[in-house]
C-alpha cells in the first residue's frame, strides 16, 4: 500500500515538473549555458523549485483533506507540518526571486540562516549526537549551527 502512495506522489511530482518546465520554456524563462562550468548544451528552464514546492503542498493538503486515501484516519495539518512548511516557504520564495533577480551570496545565506533559525526555534534541530558520543545533549551553541 505504501508503494501506491509513493507512486502517486512521484506521478504528481513528474506531472507538475513537466507543466512548470513547459510554462517556463513558453515564457522564455530559461538560463542558457553561459560558461565552461555549465554542463548543459541547451537552455535550462528556471522555476524547478515551483514543481517541488507545489507537490509538497499538494500532498500535505491532500493528506489533510482526504486522510483515508493515505491509509490514515486523520491527518490534521499539525503544528509540526506548519513548523516545517513555514521555513520551507521562505526558502522557496528565496529561490523563486533568485531565478529572476540575481541575489548576492550574502543575501541568500542570510535568508537561509533565518529559515534555519526559525526551524530551530520551532523545535526542529540537532540536539544529540548519539552515533559519535553516546547520548550527550548539545547546547544551542553547537546545535543551532
- pLDDT string in tens for the chain (145-residue length): 555 566 777 788 888 888 888 898 888 888 777 767 767 778 788 888 888 888 888 877 777 777 776 666 766 666 777 788 889 999 999 999 998 888 999 999 999 999 999 988 888 877 666 666 666 666 666 666 7
**pLDDT at position 111, please?**
97
Judged on CB neighbours under 10 Å (0-12, 13-18, 19+), 74 is: exposed
Task: Flag whether 141 is in a domain.
Answer: no
Beta carbons of 20 and 51 less than 8 angstroms apart: yes
Helices then strands, each counted (H, E), the chain: 6, 2
Domain count within the chain: 1
Domain coverage including residue 24: 2-77
What CA–CA distances, in Å, run from 53 to 1, 89, 96, 117? Answer: 24, 8, 11, 20
Task: Flag whether 62 is in a domain.
Answer: yes
Task: Flag whether 15 is in a domain.
Answer: yes
**pLDDT at position 2, please?**
53
Task: Flag whether 40 is in a domain.
Answer: yes
Task: Flag whether 14 is in a domain.
Answer: yes
Three cell numbers written together for 106:
550574502
Amino acid at each position: 500500500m505504501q508503494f501506491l502512495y509513493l507512486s502517486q506522489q512521484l506521478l504528481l511530482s513528474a506531472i507538475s515538473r513537466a507543466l512548470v518546465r513547459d510554462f517556463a520554456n513558453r515564457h522564455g524563462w530559461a538560463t542558457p549555458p553561459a560558461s565552461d562550468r555549465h554542463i548543459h548544451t541547451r537552455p535550462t528552464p528556471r522555476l524547478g523549485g515551483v514543481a517541488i514546492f507545489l507537490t509538497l503542498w499538494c500532498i500535505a493538503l491532500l493528506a489533510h483533506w482526504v486522510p483515508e486515501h493515505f491509509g490514515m484516519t486523520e491527518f490534521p495539518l499539525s503544528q509540526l507540518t506548519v513548523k516545517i512548511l513555514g521555513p520551507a516557504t521562505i526558502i522557496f520564495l528565496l529561490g523563486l526571486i533568485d531565478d529572476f533577480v540575481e541575489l548576492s551570496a550574502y543575501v541568500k545565506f542570510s535568508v537561509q540562516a533565518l529559515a534555519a533559525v526559525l526551524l530551530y526555534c520551532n523545535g526542529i534541530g540537532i540536539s544529540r549526537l548519539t552515533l559519535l558520543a553516546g547520548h550527550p545533549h548539545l547546547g544551542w551553541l553547537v546545535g543551532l549551527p
